[in-house]
Amino acid sequence: MTNNNFNPKIKDCCFEDSTIKLDEMKKILADIMPVEGYVDSEIFEEDGAMNFVLKDYYNEDKRDVADFLCQLTINSEGIIQVVKHDIPQFINYKNQKIMLFFSSLVGKKLNYKVKDDDIIDPRW
């Protein structure tokens, strides 16, 4: 019999909190996805919405190859509207956890702050 209990941190984030901090989301992604390096984000604006692209970077200078993890589209109130990913639709336990986490993000407020020089400050 397999153990289908979710990590308590993921459970709280998915089902109980209505906001999520950017750095907390990065840690959860690193826990549930096959990350080789470290998770970091890029931000850009498109059609009046902020977009965060989270990637798995292999080294700190970001000049090497990075793997796409997901893209979040945030409205003007800071609410996550869309989560794009390329997880295969093959349902197994690991993919199920990842998809559950991604679907739980829609409707949550993402806590982040953009500094004057367009650097994201996740501590806000």
Give per-residue pLDDT as tens, 82-104: 999 988 878 888 888 888 889 88
What pTM was estimated for this model as a whole? 0.76
* Angle 73-77-68 from CA coordinates, rounded to 5°: 20
Which residues, at least 6 apart from 21, have a Cβ–Cβ distance to it below 8 Å? 110, 111, 112, 122, 123
Strands 113-114 and 120-121: antiparallel
What per-residue confidence (pLDDT) applies to 116?
57
Return the ∠ at Cα 108 (arms to 93 and 77), rounded to 5°: 150
pLDDT of residue 112: 81
CA 83 distance to own-chain centroid: 8
pLDDT tens by residue, 11-57: 565 556 788 888 888 899 889 888 888 888 889 998 888 999 999 98
Q: Is residue 6 classed as helix, strand or coil in its secondary structure? A: coil
